[in-house]
Chains A and B, each alone.
Chain A
Amino acid sequence: MTPKICVKNLSKHFTAGVSTVQTLDNVNLRVNDGEFVTLVGPSGCGKSTLFNIIVGLLPPDEGLLLIDGEQQPHDHLLGQVAFMPQRDMLLPWRTVLDNAILAAEIDGVARATARQRAMDSLDRFGLGGFESHYPSQLSGGMRQRVALMRTFMFDREIMLLDEPFGALDALTRALMQRWLLEVWEGEKRTVLFITHDIDEAIYLGDRVLVMSARPGHIKLDKEVALARPRAPDIITRPEFVELKRELLATIEDESLKAFAAMNRSVSDKEAGGR
């Protein structure tokens, strides 16, 4: 089967003044049609950069991106992927409803049609009755849901979600995860989902990808053999715990490397300053 998304040998560096940061080094990954794949990795390993490249906002240094088996020049996917960035980026002058239809509106859907469609799905996103509120009047969780709704209303087969629940407290987060699975199971779009939270990665994903410390590449690719629909208490099941143990070991390894690298560069700077 041709994978929906296939990334081959992708590399990317950034130059800031004289220093170069190799951010991604030879990333390879595939996501099948209708699959929900989660991506975890230490902070700063290049997850968001990877998304920016797939979406078409950044050109890679090297590597290929194939969608449905077809190679994509770097900015050809602009407008083709439903992307939710790490920050919610709601526009303060737009109401909940008008923020939710932003992507659809830019896509050329008439405002009235888009608004009607958004009104119909407000409840599904837990935003019923809040259509004329402004982002500044919402809680963090609601803002995230508006951003998610905006992403869902952009009718594309592929969704890239960058830590959509990063800013939420544990309880809201658990509720949102359950809710996201429900919504997703109704639509079965292809999802690539970045998170810092291993429980979340396992609970949501068909597969979990673990990224290495910078320069980032895919360190581990683990199938999650847990039947759907998944009950919230699945996180206490032995299979779950076993998987978590294995993933944790790899991630901790990489996080330690990232941490050590950070300390090293700090002490280098200090040494240089003396």
Chain B
Amino acid sequence: MSRRSSIGRFTAQLFALLAIFVAWEWSVWLFEISHDKLPPLSVVLSTMWFDRAPLAAAVGTTLLEAVLGLMAGTATGVVSGIAFSRSRLLERMFLPYFVASQAIPIIAFGAIIIMWFGNGIASKVIIALYLSFFPVAVNTLRGIRSVGEGEIGLLRSFGASPTAILFKLQLPAALPSIMTAVRLGASLALVGAIVGEWFGASQGLGVVLLMAMFDYRIPQLWAGILLTGLTGVSLYAAIVFLHKRIAWWQVEA
């Protein structure tokens, strides 16, 4: 039943997307919109096809940066969440700075990161990590804290050490909320990778967008936008799939 309804929903979404594309194509012709403002979809698609090799490489680069950054951010977030759950002192010392760090926009120090880590992939991974670790840290802590006194007592009655309690009870119990944060982190990591590329890079979607903007190549710009959207949606869908696989017993919306 749920399978059928999810297929139904997918079809509906696909139709909506097609409708938007058709409306896009027609309205450009119908209202004679200047192609500089909005080129017809067909033009954008043919540009995309024409530039397929460099565009694919750009998607590959940005996706790699975002995924590596997300993985690093998740690892950082989970480890710091565990550390905070172990020690109130650590939490009191560092959590406020974690929160404060989120108030500093990446725009403010992106240039520094490029200077430190070069304009290769490393600097983008760092920026994606910076953007994605925080929700993971907070949700790891929240997930671990949400485990009931009774469940912990049960494991203690079996003679479980704090480490066994962490790995057999608290972390698995936190997995659904960790995965919810990773979903959020996935979008942030992609933004991080693209913003990182704006500060300095030779390849990637950020570069495609920036060059198209500077050279006033409007179809290329739209091709970049479409591909960025597609990359973001695919990354998100992959994380949702993973979430449903590894934390299926409790999938938060």
Contact = CB atoms under 8 A, between A and B. Distances in A.
A89 B150 contact: yes
Contact of A106 (B151, B153, B155, B250): B155
Interface stretch (A79-87, A167-175, A185-193): A79-87
Nearest to A79: B159
Interface residues of A, number: 23
B35 interface: no
A106 B152 CA distance: 13
A102 B157 contact: no
A78 interface: yes
B56 interface: no
B156 A89 contact: no
A106 B249 contact: no
A78 B159 contact: yes
Contacts, number: 52
B149 to A, nearest CB: 9
Contacts of B156: 56-57, 78
Contacts of B168: 102, 105-106
Contacts of B166: none
Contact of B153 (A79, A80, A85): A85
B158 A107 contact: yes
Contact of B169 (A78, A85, A91, A136): A91
A177 B192 CA distance: 61
B158 A57 contact: no
A52 B154 CA distance: 10
A134 interface: yes
B interface secondary structure, majority: helix
A55 interface: yes
Interface string B140-178: 000000000011011111111000100011001101000
Nearest to B176: A93
A136 B248 CA distance: 12
Contacts of B164: 106
A89 B249 CA distance: 15
A165 interface: no
Given A102-B168, A106-B164, A55 B151 contact: no
Contact of A103 (B151, B153, B158, B173): B158
Nearest to A84: B154
B76 to A, nearest CB: 24
B153 A93 contact: no
B157 A92 contact: no
Contact of A92 (B153, B158, B249): B249
A6 to B, nearest CB: 20
Interface string A100-116: 00110111000000000
Shortest 7 CB-CB contacts between residues of A and residues of B:
A79-B159, A83-B157, A92-B249, A103-B158, A106-B158, A106-B160, A57-B153
21 contacts: A55-B153, A55-B157, A56-B157, A57-B153, A57-B156, A78-B157, A78-B159, A79-B158, A80-B159, A81-B157, A83-B154, A87-B150, A89-B151, A89-B154, A91-B151, A91-B169, A91-B173, A93-B175, A102-B158, A106-B159, A134-B249
Given A89-B154, A154-B158, 8 more contacts: A78-B159, A79-B157, A79-B159, A85-B153, A91-B172, A91-B173, A93-B249, A106-B164
